[in-house]
Chain A
Amino acid sequence: MKTFIDDGFRKNPCFNVPLLIEQLKRFWVIPAVTLLAYLLFVVLMLFTASQNSWNNPSRIMINILMMEHPVILVSSVLAPLCAAASLFPHHYSHPANTAFASLPISRRQLFVTNLAAGVLMFVIPLLILGLILLIPVRLTIVNTGWNMQPLSQWVMNREVFAGQVVNTPLAVGAFFLRAVLTSGFYFALGIMAVSVVGSRVIAGMIALAVSFLPVVVLGLGWVIAEFYVFGFSHAGAFFTDRVMLYMHPVSMGVLLNNSWRGGQFAPAPYGMWPFYLSHILLTAGMLAAGYFCYMRRKAERTGETVVFTPLKNIMVFILSLAGMGIGGVFFMAMFNGSRAGYYFGFVMGFALAYIIAQMIAEKSLHIWYKIKKLPLFGGIALGMYIMVHVITSGVMYGYTTHVPDMNNVAGVYIGIPIRSYSNEGRDFTFVTDRAVIGRTLAIHGQIVEERRMLRPLNTIGMWSSTSRWNTMSIERFTVTYRLNDGKMISRMYSLPRDFMQRSGAEALLREEAVILSYYPALLDTAFTSRIEIFLRGPAGQEQHPVVVYSRAQIESLTEALRRDTVRDAVNERQWRAGEIPWPNRDNPFSASVNIHRIINEDGRPLQWNRHFWFSEPVYTTEWLRREFPEIYALWRES
């Protein structure tokens, strides 16, 4: 008897070349549009940018290699999702399903061939872009600054110097691999979505939503916890961002490229491989899940919103939970932070989202027969809510009102909302002065003591914009303890200004030790290898910075910078407290300073730039006049 496992099938049981060619021919528009976007908005921009402008070719090249370029980021998400939605029409349409299923290919061949076609659709444009990027080999860095730092850390593994070629084959190769990995991540996500969904629109929505799901779940827990627990733990935001770093390639890029989070995620201590490895594993996992669901889905389920009934219920439940969270926040905001509004919003949001989710799930407006299941879903949600409530108010409540014992605290760090906060490097230090620690603990104790009065403000502060804090005279006060055993406890409170004054928090924030704890570069000069000063006068920035290498000059300049920093910080606190008018920021003679440090961490020498900007560099100016009188004179004469 014939077995009909013919040679063609035996030769290649996973792959079908004719179908691959056909799929590429059918959807050539996806790689073509992607490539066109690269050529028009990336390559053309790169080749036509003026060398003398701020956005010069060197900077654009760095942005591209860092994957900070918006067109590259957007295309890394959209192109693979479009490919995933286009290559599987047999998941949405019964006639297409019949046509594909009756072709002389196995389901596995169909899946793997479509997978390969999709990968080629985003790899080919990226490959062409990568090759083009290698052409301008002499596009160089014309100015170094703090924003070059991430590149030096994770693209080049070192700092970029003026005049240096950045688009080396290695760097471009690294960019290519990262871009492919990011696109692959979203393609796998898209494939997983289309394998469980019978609608392009829903698949797209689910693909985008799923990538944020871990953060949404964390966020929901955080919102509930925040409502019952007094004092926001910084660890929540830290953990959320960490989840994003590991689970979301684009967020990883955004978080790393923008070191505005106090540089906590500067990759140096971790390297990039844990993130890459996590994304590779997630991609493989999503592909495996997609393949499994693809093989399990039944042809007759084609076109259904969710082709697996249990998943349909899960989708409805998750959407209902999301509606509950949104409803809670919305109504709480409407009723000015009222807890009754919060509960009302929960119920309304859950019920409304449940109805909408059922309509989506059943692809019909007639879902009233599903309403009888609403109490069941609501009961599960209520059970979960009560569980979170018990954990947060029972287990965590004691913890969050806990003020550490003085004997257990090794150091304290107090976040200072001053202007340079956003540009700060990751390397803050803890204040170990016992007197400062004692004062901090006393203030923290007072906050906990008066929590009944402070709690409503805390809740409002959490949901308010910074401008509203100002009108409400609310400030955020962040305190982090480093305990003797190395553990850290972090708390953030929204406090009224009068409380800041009478509790001594305001005075504490003006302490030199507290201010300088944020600037280790100013406290310890042992790692400083050089300092650059960029002077700006009415005529613009001086082209040649003052560069200081000698130890003696580094010491004396650091002292001047330290005094300017403290002066600026205190001025800002005074302005916030309404004691002085807004400091003059329009001084024509300003200075930017880079303190270049080489830190040995975990056996690796890490180069680190700390950037300062002073609108009125009083002590630094004095130092310059003393050490470099000619330059000082030129600057002042400009």
Chain B
Amino acid sequence: MIEIRNLTKAFDGFTALNGLDLHVKQGSIYGMVGVNGAGKTTAIKHLAGVYRQDAGEVRIDGIPVYDNAALKARVGYIPDELYFFPFYTMGMQRGFLRRMYGERGKWNDERYEKMRGLMGLDEKRRLGKFSKGMQKQAAFIFAMSAMPDVLLLDEPIDGLDPIVRKVVFELIIEDVAQRGLTVLISSHNLKEMDGICDAVGIIKAGRMGIERDLDDLKADVHKIQVAFPQENAQKEGEATCALVGHKFEGLDILHHEKRGGVELFVIRGVHDEVEAKIKALNPLLYDHLPLTLEEVFVYENLH
């Protein structure tokens, strides 16, 4: 559905994207994460048709995005920095967008009214007078009412209260399930993304670091808690050193910390192999803890 290949973009000598590859399947929710300045917004702006790439390909359904009006009619985009026509009320903005998208039969008034009712926004009030969160809600309503096939969200959670967030994500998931909506979310709020994303791409310095289904990603990184008997302290120390020192072939330790007698490891590798190698050291305690997306992101980026 969404495909970015070898995307390169430089701004006045600074290379923001340096051969980025990204793939999003139709009907999936893709979380794009990365540290500040990694190139997330730049990548999204290419998908929204705002930026023209220096090199590489940006396609949706195999069609180049840039300056493709028909394709953009199928893409909903909520940028980080919102813009509405000055002095426009929500109703006026809706009128404009209805004409713009209605020309192609896309606008859904019923959905607009439903969402506006759920969020309690006054249609006669100027958008400029709305709070930041309300503006974000309005942007969601506009984007969702245009019935997009692709939804691009750049930091969508900022400013939304938990109730609205829940409503929004429920609607998105509903659209994904019923209409095959494809969603790409760029966010720092990894906890939220953890709950809804099917796949995740971690961008590092303008390149794709890891891109995988969320389940696969989590299956590859393990958070393990171990403790060894006190009488085997010497041995335990050796074992720990052995783990940390990568003496076990095939174990890739991303993180290690000691909390009293208990040691915490984040290890990349095949689950069974990791478990076998650690259990071979006869630990007193062996726990495989659930790993959050945030932890994966942090450890992957720190490593």
Binding site for B on A (CB under 8 A): 1-6, 8-9, 16-19, 21-22, 26, 93-99, 101-107, 109, 298-300
Q: In the bound complex, how far is the Cα of B52 from the Cα of A414, in angstroms?
A: 65
Binding site for A on B (CB under 8 A): 11, 45, 48-52, 61-63, 67-75, 77, 79, 81-85, 96, 99-101, 103-104
Question: What are 6 A-to-B residue pairs whose CB atoms are below 8 Å?
Answer: A3-B63, A95-B83, A98-B79, A99-B84, A102-B72, A104-B73
Q: In the bound complex, how far is the Cα of B99 from the Cα of A17, in angstroms?
A: 9
Number of A-B contacts (CB under 8 A): 88
Q: In the bound complex, how far is the Cα of B45 from the Cα of A106, in angstroms?
A: 15
Q: In the bound complex, how far is the Cα of B71 from the Cα of A8, in angstroms?
A: 12
Taking a contact as CB atoms under 8 Å apart, the answer to whether B51 and A22 are in contact is no
Taking a contact as CB atoms under 8 Å apart, the answer to whether B63 and A102 are in contact is no
Chain B residues, CB < 8 A from A298: 51-52
- Looking at the assembled complex, report how far the CB atom of B285 sits from the nearest CB atom of chain A, in whole angstroms: 52
Chain B residues, CB < 8 A from A18: 96, 99-100, 103
Chain B residues, CB < 8 A from A107: 67
Other-chain residue from A3, A21, A102 in contact with B77 (beta carbon distance below 8 A): A102
Taking a contact as CB atoms under 8 Å apart, the answer to whether A6 and B72 are in contact is no
Given A4-B70, A8-B104, A109-B69, answer yes or no on A101-B49 (Cβ-Cβ < 8 Å): yes
Q: Give the residue among A5, A26, A104 with the most B Cβ atoms within 10 A.
A: A104
Chain B residues, CB < 8 A from A299: 45, 50-52
Chain A residues, CB < 8 A from B49: 101-102
Q: In the bound complex, how far is the Cα of B63 from the Cα of A1, in angstroms?
A: 9
Chain B residues, CB < 8 A from A21: 99
Given A98-B81, A109-B69, answer yes or no on A2-B61 (Cβ-Cβ < 8 Å): yes
Q: In the bound complex, how far is the Cα of B11 from the Cα of A511, in angstroms?
A: 74
- Looking at the assembled complex, report how far the CB atom of B139 sits from the nearest CB atom of chain A, in whole angstroms: 10
Q: Give the residue among B67, B70, B71 with the most A Cβ atoms within 10 A.
A: B70
Chain A residues, CB < 8 A from B45: 98, 299
Q: In the bound complex, how far is the Cα of B60 from the Cα of A2, in angstroms?
A: 11
- Looking at the assembled complex, report how far the CB atom of B292 sits from the nearest CB atom of chain A, in whole angstroms: 31
Q: In the bound complex, how far is the Cα of B68 from the Cα of A17, in angstroms?
A: 17
Chain B residues, CB < 8 A from A4: 61, 63, 68, 70-71, 74
Chain B residues, CB < 8 A from A99: 79, 82-84
Taking a contact as CB atoms under 8 Å apart, the answer to whether B100 and A106 are in contact is no
Chain B residues, CB < 8 A from A109: 69
Taking a contact as CB atoms under 8 Å apart, the answer to whether A26 and B75 are in contact is no
The secondary-structure label for the interface of chain A is helix
Taking a contact as CB atoms under 8 Å apart, the answer to whether A95 and B82 are in contact is yes
- Looking at the assembled complex, report how far the CB atom of B104 sits from the nearest CB atom of chain A, in whole angstroms: 5
The secondary-structure label for the interface of chain B is loop
Chain B residues, CB < 8 A from A9: 69-70
Q: In the bound complex, how far is the Cα of B70 from the Cα of A18, in angstroms?
A: 15
Taking a contact as CB atoms under 8 Å apart, the answer to whether B73 and A96 are in contact is no
Taking a contact as CB atoms under 8 Å apart, the answer to whether B51 and A300 are in contact is yes
Q: In the bound complex, how far is the Cα of B70 from the Cα of A257, in angstroms?
A: 52
Chain A residues, CB < 8 A from B62: 1
Among residues of A, the one whose C-beta sits closest to the C-beta of B146 is A104
Given A2-B61, A6-B73, answer yes or no on A101-B48 (Cβ-Cβ < 8 Å): yes
Q: In the bound complex, how far is the Cα of B103 from the Cα of A19, in angstroms?
A: 11
Q: In the bound complex, how far is the Cα of B70 from the Cα of A189, in angstroms?
A: 31
Chain A residues, CB < 8 A from B84: 99
- Looking at the assembled complex, report how far the CB atom of B66 sits from the nearest CB atom of chain A, in whole angstroms: 9
- Looking at the assembled complex, report how far the CB atom of B156 sits from the nearest CB atom of chain A, in whole angstroms: 15
- Looking at the assembled complex, report how far the CB atom of B118 sits from the nearest CB atom of chain A, in whole angstroms: 24
Q: In the bound complex, how far is the Cα of B41 from the Cα of A299, in angstroms?
A: 13
Taking a contact as CB atoms under 8 Å apart, the answer to whether B85 and A26 are in contact is yes
Q: Give the residue among A2, A18, A96 with the most B Cβ atoms within 10 A.
A: A18
Chain B residues, CB < 8 A from A8: 70, 73, 103-104
- Looking at the assembled complex, report how far the CB atom of B14 sits from the nearest CB atom of chain A, in whole angstroms: 11
Taking a contact as CB atoms under 8 Å apart, the answer to whether A104 and B70 are in contact is yes
Given A103-B72, A104-B104, answer yes or no on A300-B11 (Cβ-Cβ < 8 Å): yes
Taking a contact as CB atoms under 8 Å apart, the answer to whether B83 and A93 are in contact is yes
Q: In the bound complex, how far is the Cα of B52 from the Cα of A22, in angstroms?
A: 26
Among residues of A, the one whose C-beta sits closest to the C-beta of B103 is A8
- Looking at the assembled complex, report how far the CB atom of B142 sits from the nearest CB atom of chain A, in whole angstroms: 11
Other-chain residue from B50, B52, B70, B85 in contact with A102 (beta carbon distance below 8 A): B50
Taking a contact as CB atoms under 8 Å apart, the answer to whether A106 and B83 are in contact is no
Among residues of A, the one whose C-beta sits closest to the C-beta of B104 is A8
Q: Give the residue among B61, B77, B81, B83 with the most A Cβ atoms within 10 A.
A: B83
Taking a contact as CB atoms under 8 Å apart, the answer to whether B72 and A5 are in contact is no
Given A5-B70, A96-B83, A98-B81, answer yes or no on A104-B100 (Cβ-Cβ < 8 Å): yes
- Looking at the assembled complex, report how far the CB atom of B262 sits from the nearest CB atom of chain A, in whole angstroms: 49
Q: In the bound complex, how far is the Cα of B96 from the Cα of A16, in angstroms?
A: 12
- Looking at the assembled complex, report how far the CB atom of B1 sits from the nearest CB atom of chain A, in whole angstroms: 12
Q: In the bound complex, how far is the Cα of B149 from the Cα of A2, in angstroms?
A: 13
Q: In the bound complex, how far is the Cα of B69 from the Cα of A16, in angstroms?
A: 11
- Looking at the assembled complex, report how far the CB atom of B70 sits from the nearest CB atom of chain A, in whole angstroms: 4
- Looking at the assembled complex, report how far the CB atom of B8 sits from the nearest CB atom of chain A, in whole angstroms: 14
Other-chain residue from A2, A19, A26, A96 in contact with B100 (beta carbon distance below 8 A): A19
Q: In the bound complex, how far is the Cα of B80 from the Cα of A385, in angstroms?
A: 51
Taking a contact as CB atoms under 8 Å apart, the answer to whether B96 and A22 are in contact is yes
Chain A residues, CB < 8 A from B51: 298-300
Taking a contact as CB atoms under 8 Å apart, the answer to whether A103 and B100 are in contact is yes
Among residues of B, the one whose C-beta sits closest to the C-beta of A110 is B69
Among residues of B, the one whose C-beta sits closest to the C-beta of A19 is B100
Taking a contact as CB atoms under 8 Å apart, the answer to whether A106 and B50 are in contact is no
Q: In the bound complex, how far is the Cα of B82 from the Cα of A438, in angstroms?
A: 80
Among residues of B, the one whose C-beta sits closest to the C-beta of A108 is B67
Q: In the bound complex, how far is the Cα of B101 from the Cα of A103, in angstroms?
A: 9
Chain A residues, CB < 8 A from B81: 94-95, 98
Closest 9 CB pairs of A and B: A104-B73, A18-B99, A95-B83, A99-B83, A101-B50, A4-B70, A95-B81, A106-B69, A6-B70
Q: In the bound complex, how far is the Cα of B103 from the Cα of A109, in angstroms?
A: 15
Among residues of A, the one whose C-beta sits closest to the C-beta of B101 is A104
- Looking at the assembled complex, report how far the CB atom of A135 sits from the nearest CB atom of chain B, in whole angstroms: 36
Among residues of A, the one whose C-beta sits closest to the C-beta of B143 is A102
Q: In the bound complex, how far is the Cα of B62 from the Cα of A99, in angstroms?
A: 24
Chain A residues, CB < 8 A from B63: 2-4
Q: In the bound complex, how far is the Cα of B48 from the Cα of A4, in angstroms?
A: 15
- Looking at the assembled complex, report how far the CB atom of A37 sits from the nearest CB atom of chain B, in whole angstroms: 22
Chain A residues, CB < 8 A from B11: 300
Chain A residues, CB < 8 A from B103: 8, 17-18
- Looking at the assembled complex, report how far the CB atom of B68 sits from the nearest CB atom of chain A, in whole angstroms: 7
Q: In the bound complex, how far is the Cα of B50 from the Cα of A131, in angstroms?
A: 44
Other-chain residue from A3, A96, A105 in contact with B69 (beta carbon distance below 8 A): A105
- Apart from A95-B79, A99-B82, what are 14 other A-B pairs with CB-CB below 8 Å? A8-B73, A94-B81, A95-B83, A96-B83, A97-B50, A98-B50, A101-B49, A101-B50, A102-B48, A102-B49, A102-B79, A104-B73, A104-B104, A106-B68
Q: In the bound complex, how far is the Cα of B68 from the Cα of A94, in angstroms?
A: 20
Among residues of A, the one whose C-beta sits closest to the C-beta of B98 is A18
- Looking at the assembled complex, report how far the CB atom of B182 sits from the nearest CB atom of chain A, in whole angstroms: 14
Among residues of A, the one whose C-beta sits closest to the C-beta of B61 is A2
Q: In the bound complex, how far is the Cα of B48 from the Cα of A5, in angstroms?
A: 17
Among residues of A, the one whose C-beta sits closest to the C-beta of B96 is A22
Chain B residues, CB < 8 A from A105: 69, 72, 100
- Looking at the assembled complex, report how far the CB atom of A83 sits from the nearest CB atom of chain B, in whole angstroms: 16
Chain B residues, CB < 8 A from A19: 100
